[in-house]
Amino acid sequence: MADIRTTSIEADCFYHIYNRGINGELIFKSDRNYSFFLNKVVEFLTPVCDVYAYCLMPNHFHLLVKIKSDLELSSLVKVQNLDKATQTGLHSPQNIFSKQFARLFNSYSQSFNKEYKRHGALIESPFKRKLITSDKYLINMIIYIHQNPQNHSIAHQFSKYNFSSYQSILSKSRTLLKRDEVIELFGGVENFKLSHLRTINLKDEF
């Protein structure tokens, strides 16, 4: 596997983004923590990527995202003056996305540390990512992410777990997700449900 510190992030590509707490420590201890993290995803990540799936677990998380186009990222740089935060590659998706991820981690970690009276780093760095190279891989990764709570024995039924995107994709409520695109990828709601009954044999990073 390529070194995650040097693997570039490219515009218009799908990535499985995942990470965990330092030394496997808990990074979510309450419902409020999960909700706060998702709010920070909306604030810092949705300007630079579209979110297709997520799962937040007590000591790690998974996100499936599609990086926005070069044009959209270039516009964001100009609007938010992100060029002041990058040393090279002004319009590089790698720099823009990594900067926003750092903002997410820093904001969340500061809040978590204050609430639980702890100090120091909370989440491992750099964040880990895998390029999604086909529609089949994309579909399987979505299923894998949603099945994670059951695979880790955190939930008896993954479909009932409150902190993944599975329920949100099936609901009509407002969401940060690209819900319609996900359902279209699976060929409809019923096939989305049926596909999730399959066992997905992907290597478990945790």
For 178, residues 6+ apart whose C-beta sits below 8 A from its C-beta are 50, 51, 52, 66
- Closest by CA to 50, choosing from 177, 195, 142, is 177
Q: Is the pLDDT of residue 204 over 50?
A: no
Give the pLDDT mean for 18-32. 96
**Distance, CA of 21 to CA of 108 (rounded, Å):** 12
pTM over 0.85? The answer is: yes
Asked which of 22-26, 69-73, 194-198 is least confident by mean pLDDT, the reply is 69-73
Distance in angstroms (rounded) separating the CA atoms of residues 201 and 186? 18
Residues sharing a CB contact under 8 Å with residue 120, sequence separation 6 or more, in sequence order: 22, 113
Tokens encoding 28: 């979510």
The per-residue pLDDT for 87 is: 41
Q: What is the DSSP string of 63-82?
A: EEEEEPPHHHHHHHHHHHTG
Instruction: Single out the residue of 18, 12, 5 nearest to residue 130, CA to CA.
Output: 18
Condensed to tens digits (0 to 9), the pLDDT of residues 105-119 reads: 999 999 999 999 999
Query: What local confidence, expressed as pLDDT, does residue 122 receive?
Result: 97
Confirm if 147 and 97 have CB atoms less than 8 A apart. no
Q: Is the pLDDT of residue 200 over 90?
A: no
Q: Which residues contact 160 (CB under 8 A, 6 or more apart)?
A: none
User: Is residue 205's pLDDT more than 50?
Assistant: no
Pairs from 181-186 (Cβ < 8 Å, separation ≥ 24): 181/50, 181/52, 182/52, 182/53, 182/142, 185/135, 185/138, 185/139, 185/142, 186/139
User: Given phi > 0 = left and psi -120 to 50 = alpha, else beta, which region is 117?
Assistant: left
3-class DSSP assignment, residue 91: coil
pLDDT tens readout for residues 40-87: 999 999 999 999 999 999 999 999 999 999 888 888 776 655 545 444
Residue 46 backbone class (left: φ over 0; alpha: ψ -120 to 50; beta: rest): alpha
| pLDDT score of 161 | 97
For tokens 């808990």, name the residue: 26
Where is average pLDDT lowest: 16-30, 70-84, 126-140, 180-194? 70-84
Q: Give the C-alpha separation, 77 to 138, whole Å.
A: 28
Mean confidence (pLDDT) of the chain: 89
